[in-house]
Amino acid sequence: QKEVEQNSGPLSVPEGAIASLNCTYSDRGSQSFFWYRQYSGKSPELIMFIYSNGDKEDGRFTAQLNKASQYVSLLIRDSQPSDSATYLCAVNIGNTGKLIFGQGTTLQVKP
């Protein structure tokens, strides 16, 4: 089992819709969780982090964490074509600073 798993997609949504990106992780001791966005040919950019169970909102982005189910998700409301990118889920394993990344989900927002 991979430590961090994501569906590679592509996930295609129409402009204005809600995009839902999902991630599961294997280490129950993980404490911090991150979502990065990576445009083609660019470096990953941190967009959200979450530590506690529940929802955390920042503008059009909402991160959701369920530690019992070992599940993290990212919702993007009012999706825009500029949101088209690969979204990487990352988990801080054992609080060591070692971020383990999923393989990423490619999101396509169609005008």
Partner 1 sequence: DTAVSQTPKYLVTQMGNDKSIKCEQNLGHDTMYWYKQDSKKFLKIMFSYNNKELIINETVPNRFSPKSPDKAHLNLHINSLELGDSAVYFCASSQDVGNYGYTFGSGTRLTVV
Evaluate the omega torsion of the peptide bond into residue 10 and state whether it is cis, within 30 degrees of 0: yes
The DSSP 8-state label assigned to residue 15 in this structure reads: T
90, 76 contact by CB (below 8 A)? no
Q: x/- site string to partner 1, residues 18 to 47, per CB under 8 A?
A: -------------xx-x-x-x---xxxxx-
CB of 3 to partner 1, least distance (A): 11
Nearer residue to partner 1 within complex by CB, 82 or 96: 96
Contact status: 108 vs partner 1 (CB under 8 A): no
Name beta bridge partners: 42: none
- Contact residues for 57 (Cβ-Cβ < 8 A; gap 6+): none
- The site that binds partner 1 (CB under 8 A) totals a number of residues, namely 24
Which parts of 55-74 interact with partner 1 (CB under 8 A)? none
